[in-house]
Structure 1
Amino acid sequence: MEIRELTPDHLDAVLDNRTRAFGPLSASDAEAWRVMVTPMLPEGRYLGAFDGARLMGTARVNPYTQWWHGRPVSMGGVASVTVSPEDRGRGVGGRLMHAVIDRAAELGHAVSALYPATTPIYRSLGWEHAGAQYIATLPAEALRTLRGGADVKLRRMGPDDAPEVIAVLNRVYAATRASGPLVADERTWRGWLSEEDDFCYLADDGYVTYHWSGRDIQVDNLVAGSEATARALWSLVGTASSIVTSVRACVEPYDPVLWLLRERSKDEVAQTRWMFRVIDLPAAVAARGYPAGASIDAVVEVEDPQRPANSGLWRLRVEAGSGSAARLRSAAQHAAPRFTIGGLSALFAGVPTATLRRTGRLCGGSPDSDAALDTAFNCDPYMIDYF
């Protein structure tokens, strides 16, 4: 078995593998997929496992920025992980994901995230459950009545508005100290804004993209930096209430719309879980944001068999919203808490130390060190995009 970068000549075989893994695509969707992935090929973002000339499996590393407590971190979004049915159970997926970890590091990504079809293989290689994509079912009529944004100017948007959408996202995620949501590059956003079946509207501090799903509406993205813009965008979606009963929407865990609704007694929110991995420990800790009041100086030990550069003793410091990780040579003077790389990745994503201890991902240390780490890394991560 050999892991190689894919080229345009492989795309027919890749599409066949993808169809066998996830089901068939329409002709238009297959063409959109080719347009999306072709620019990634010369960047080395699409890997294949080969038996001679025969393609056995694939994995892609998408270029994203992921926000953590209001600061951007370079993130490799792992997607299109496939293994041909006749090659499953032969270690192809494991070899591919080992290569993905190395490639993500080579591409400069400090962290990685993925939506798993199955947990065990990814967990065995250091990814751990972190956050979710939250999908709420909302009454269309209740959205229609969310007036109050009359002074908010909305306009239709298309591919040329991609830079402005990215700028809006960056401003809102920084201001709200968001953790987890991603921002795609301009190339990707141009593709998303070219979807013929989507309706897209832009404001100065927010936007919405949505489409019809049967007789209901699916809101893919709605981001607002103010109450007025939130009301204007949600009420725009609700104007379809004469036909639509329900709106399914990707939302934040504490999305403002849940507090703007006049009546709320029971939430109908589904979750699609995503997993997370630290790729470059010192780079990830330095890029992440932290609560302004958190102050820690702690030593931790990390075990990362797939990426030994992350293994060993680290001195973690957090002060005034910024963090750093410096390697230490000896553990002689330290009773350091010991993390698996999955445990450290989960801590980074806000999973409490009490959970990590009771699942074997953290041992050693002291209650004081646990409390300090929980304070520094506390967050409630989410994504509104699926990839």
Structure 2
Amino acid sequence: MLAFLGRHNTRARAIEFRRGVLPPYPTLLHGLRHHRATAEAWHPWMLRILDIPGAIRLRGWPADLTTAVPIEIERETGDSWGRWVFQVKAGTAEIVPTHVEGQASFTRRQLAVWYAGGYRSATAARMAGVHAVSENALATLLRSTVDLEPWLPDHF
């Protein structure tokens, strides 16, 4: 598809790809030199997590994953960050406050996308602005939600 678009003299102002169709690296994008290729995270639903510990406790989690990752989450007011430890073991998870510096940080919107399983790779999360000190920590966080997307039938 990218090769076709690279050869095609279209007058289209925008070419939109759905999640997962572009490669995780820009090597095939050289053919789109006449276009401005952009990537953005978008999900056709509204999700706002009000009770973070409750939401984490009630969501499904991988049974084969055992991990503990310190993360920072933007507070509801948006003026500061809270520190948490996210722990998964035997298909259950919890998140508890801590004083340990986070290995990844999420705004409230990024937290909702992660929670819904919207980030398919560390590259996608970083393109959406997720900051992480450790690539391994970010990959572990994404692995915990990527295979268990919530079913959200209402589109807004």
After TM superposition, the score normalised by the length of structure 2 is 0.62
Tell me the distance in 2 between the aligned counterparts of 1:386 and 1:343.
Answer: 19
- Within-5 A mapping of 1:356-367: 356-360=125-129, 362-367=130-135
Tell me the distance in 2 between the aligned counterparts of 1:385 and 1:336.
Answer: 33
Quote how far apart the aligned CAs of 1:129 are.
4.4
Quote how far apart the aligned CAs of 1:300 are.
0.3
Deviations 1:264-323, CA, capped at 9 Å, x for gaps: xxxxxxxxx112121111111111111211222100011134378x94110000011100
Other structure's SS at 2:46 match:
strand
Q: Which of 53, 57, 62 is the equivalent residue of 1:291?
A: 62
Q: Which of 74, 99, 103 is the equivalent residue of 1:336?
A: 103
Give the counterpart letter for 1:355 in structure 2. A
Match of 1:375 in 2: 143
- Within-5 A mapping of 1:63-82: none
Match of 1:345 in 2: 112
Contact 2:45 2:155 (8 Å CA) reproduced: no
Contact 1:129 1:276 (8 Å CA) reproduced: no
Other structure's SS at 1:275 match:
coil
Other structure's SS at 2:152 match:
coil
- Within-5 A mapping of 1:1-387: 129-130=42-43, 273-306=44-77, 311-331=81-101, 336-352=103-119, 353-360=122-129, 362-378=130-146, 379-385=148-154
Tell me the distance in 1 between the aligned counterparts of 2:141 and 2:154.
Answer: 28
Deviations 1:28-57, CA, capped at 9 Å, x for gaps: xxxxxxxxxxxxxxxxxxxxxxxxxxxxxx
Quote how far apart the aligned CAs of 1:385 are.
4.5
Contact 2:74 2:106 (8 Å CA) reproduced: yes
Give the counterpart letter for 1:288 in structure 2. R
Tell me the distance in 2 between the aligned counterparts of 1:277 and 1:380.
Answer: 15
Quote how far apart the aligned CAs of 1:356 are.
2.3
Contact 2:103 2:133 (8 Å CA) reproduced: yes
Other structure's SS at 2:48 match:
strand
Change over 3 Å in CA distance of 1:300–1:358 after alignment to 2: same
Structure with the higher fraction of residues in strand conformation: 1
Give the counterpart letter for 1:320 in structure 2. A
Unaligned runs of 5+ in 2: 1-40
Structure with the higher fraction of residues in helix conformation: 1
Query: How large is the RMSD of aligned CA atoms in angstroms?
Result: 2.5
- How many percent identity over aligned positions? 27
Change over 3 Å in CA distance of 1:312–1:363 after alignment to 2: same
Tell me the distance in 2 between the aligned counterparts of 1:358 and 1:324.
Answer: 27
Tell me the distance in 2 between the aligned counterparts of 1:337 and 1:292.
Answer: 22
Give the counterpart letter for 1:312 in structure 2. G
Change over 3 Å in CA distance of 1:380–1:305 after alignment to 2: closer
Other structure's SS at 1:274 match:
coil
Match of 1:258 in 2: none
Other structure's SS at 2:56 match:
helix
Other structure's SS at 1:371 match:
helix
Report which structure shows greater RCO (CA 8 Å, sep ≥6).
2
Change over 3 Å in CA distance of 1:386–1:306 after alignment to 2: same
Aligned residues: 113
